[in-house]
Amino acid sequence: MAGLDPRNLGGVRELVAYAAAVLVAWLTALLLRALLRGSGRVAEPEPGPEDVAYLTGGPWQAVYAAVAALSSTGSLLAAGGRMHAGGPLPRGAGEVAAAVHAAARTGTQVNLLPAHPAVRAALDRAGDRLRGQGALLSPGRRRAMGLTTVPLFVLAVFGAVRFGLNLPSDDSAAAAASVRSLLTLVCAMLALVTGIVVAVRAQIRNRGGDRLVRDLRRRYTALEPRRNLSLAGNGPAAATLAVGLFGTAALWTADPAFARAADVPQQRATSGGGYGGDGGYQSDSDSSCSTGGSCGSS
């Protein structure tokens, strides 16, 4: 039975096979995620300003863009972290802006807006439109992309257990066994880290959606925050696109007093294909608008 002693397991051949398995699992995860994203073509017509904000940074970005549109016309005022309607809904305002304006009639906070039933419904419809046009990945594909990292995490657990079983004891503290155990732990850590890195790259746009966002940013460079464009007087659509494409930095640059009074977070949109660690809006996951609902996750 000495051959079944766990401390005797983990030879060089097994270590090499384990390292190869980690590498194959990582490459397979990347390949499958690339295939699941697909090339994609966004169907006509081109998404409206609020849908562009949603495509760029998810539900939260669409809310911030709607807030910017309303504040640019004086239809939304803020004080002490609360917002309230300051005038009628401006002409040309989008569906999300209309819902935000309705929610603000009784006073609200910006971080509570996505949980408001009317706002959440408008955001869900925006997400549905973008998925219908082929710009956003379906929830099924996103779940499948998440499952591609499971083998990496399984291998990480396997390596950690094997490391524990192969720890040299007082009666078998061979240097070679110690080195193999250490290398097994290193491989396990690599599997864990690569699994986490791949998992947090929460890509929810397909490549067609990425191309559309890049094209729109090039087309509307005049709306970049560094241009110091005044959002007031350019219409709600321009304000929506400015924040939708380039983040709330556009609102903070154009109207810092309102942004501060409304507790709008400072962030900027980047060029990745998701709303999380892959780039895009920095703190959204497309299905976590608030504690109160799905907000575009269906």
Residue 276 in this model has a pLDDT that exceeds 50: no
pLDDT at residue 169 in the model: 52
Residue 179 in this model has a pLDDT that exceeds 80: no
Tell me the whole-structure pTM to 2 decimals.
Answer: 0.70
Residue 6 in this model has a pLDDT that exceeds 70: no
Q: What percent of the chain has pLDDT over 90?
A: 22
pLDDT at residue 167 in the model: 58
pLDDT at residue 298 in the model: 39
pLDDT digits 0-9 by tens, 207-256: 888 888 989 999 998 888 888 777 777 788 889 999 999 999 999 988 89
Q: What is the DSSP string of 1-38?
A: -GGG-GGG---HHHHHHHHHHHHHHHHHHHHHHHHHH-
